[in-house]
Amino acid sequence: MFLFKKNNPPRQSIGIYIFIADSFVNEIFGDNMITLTPQDVKQRFGPLFAQKFLVMVDERAGMAEIIEQCRARGTIEWDAMNRRRAGGVVTGCRVDGTTMILHAKLGRFPASFGAASCDIGGQALEGVEVSGNEVITSWAGIAGAGVGVAACLPQSPGVLRSEYPSEEDLRVGGARTNRVRIVSPRYEKVCFGIDDTDTKTQGATWVTALKCAEACRIEGIEFLNMRLVQLNPAVPYKTTNCVSSALNFAVKPEKVQELQEYVRTFVEAQTFSADTGIAYYRGIVFPMESPAFKWVKTEIMTLDQAEREAKTLGIGFLDNNGRKGRIGALGAVLWGNKGIEAAGLYGEPF
């Protein structure tokens, strides 16, 4: 029924996924399929609580990152626990306030979802597929969770349209089961690392980085977050704190090069230093672990070491200097999606 992708694919394995057989798709989403826009869904059920829906894909790693935002934290926490329990394509998730960040495999996998879940409800992400410049996520929900996937999430900003197998899947609430495929634009994740834009008397790298992100007005690009990364404070050649900055963006594939040029131009125009480094990584996960994760926080790295580790991990540089700022820029990219520990010393408890 399914073609399975091998676990832990090599970084260069492009376009190898788990595809749903046409017969299976036709069986679930056949001739009676109903397609609704977010406005259609809102008119049918009234305005609900979803505030954001965005899907980024990393084809080389066979992964997706889904960002959802709700008006209330409680619903996000409940959804997160149910999706982790159900499995399917979900590999992990975390909650940050009223936002859920969900990681998933590309393809379709069986979820622990069905009649056995009726006593406690249930919600599952059953599949993530790439179709040209769109991403299709397949959802199932029971009882109140069915309202979430069938009525709430499909009216979220960021959704293009939603596809329901039949009219029964639009009858929400009670003990019913609902299924829906949500279609959204395809994004990629790009992380930029910036360091050494200041001197002993002028500037602050985090200010330059954040100004750069907030000034970006390129259509098809969404600024996600900014992170300050504490590097090794024992490094002798630094301004004061030895901290670099990471910027994360969701980017439509055709806009990646334009964003890279924008970041390079903005930072180099605003820097006070001749040592500025700008690194970038295009993807959700790195192909492997690297000792550089620890080195940037505990050792005095050389520029040669930094450039060698960057090449191994697929991290590129945009700056024209080729100077020491690349070491901190590498560190920012490495830790740019690691969480609050990025701001601390290596191994420092929180």
Task: Find how far residue 84's CA is from the centre of its chain.
Answer: 17
User: Would you state the pLDDT for residue 238?
Assistant: 73
Which residues are CB-contacts of 54 (< 8 A; sequence separation ≥ 6)?
Answer: 66, 67, 158, 184, 187, 222, 250
How far is Cα of residue 255 from the mean position of the Cα atoms in its chain? 16
Residue 243: strand pairing partners: 230
- Residue 115 pLDDT: 53
Cβ distance 45 to 151 under 8 Å? yes
CA distance 147 to 129: 23
Structural contact between residues 100 and 73, judged by C-beta atoms closer than 8 angstroms: no
d(CA 329, CA 339): 17
Phi-psi region of 338 (alpha: psi -120 to 50; beta: other; left: phi over 0): alpha
Range 196-343: architecture per CATH? 2-Layer Sandwich (3.30)
Q: Within the chain, which residue ranges are assigned CATH 3.30.70.2200? A: 196-343
Q: Please, are residues 146 and 172 in contact by the beta-carbon 8 Å criterion?
A: yes
pLDDT at position 30 is 60
Q: What are the Cα distances from residue 50, in Å, to 71, 72, 151, 153?
A: 7, 9, 10, 6
List the one residue out of 137, 140, 6, 134 whose CA is nearest residue 62: 6
pLDDT category of residue 304 using cuts at 50, 70 and 90: very high
Residues in the chain: 350
Contact 92, 129 (CB under 8 A): no
19-56: per-residue pLDDT in tens? 333 444 444 556 689 999 999 999 999 999 999 999 99
Per-residue pLDDT, 121: 58
* pTM for this model (two decimals): 0.89
CA distance 222 to 184: 14
178 contacts 149 by C-beta, under 8 angstroms: yes
pLDDT at position 120: 61
Other C-beta atoms closer than 10 Å to the C-beta of 130 total 17
Mean pLDDT of 140-160: 94
Return the HEC string of 2-21: ECCCCCCCCCCCCCCCCCEC
Dist. CA 107–CA 85, nearest whole Å: 18
- pLDDT in the model for residue 33: 92
Give pLDDT, residue 114. Answer: 62
At 143, is the pLDDT very low, low, confident or very high (cuts 50, 70, 90)?
confident
Question: Which pLDDT tens digit goes with each residue over 258-272?
Answer: 999 999 999 999 999
Q: Which of 323, 344, 339 has its CA nearest to residue 233?
A: 344
Angle between the N-to-C axes of helices 205-215 and 256-270, in degrees from 0 to 180, rounded to the nearest 10: 140
pLDDT of 186 above 90: yes
78: left (phi over 0), alpha (psi -120 to 50) or beta: alpha
Planar angle of CA 174, 178, 183, nearest 5 degrees: 140
| pLDDT tens column, 123-138 | 999 999 999 999 999 9
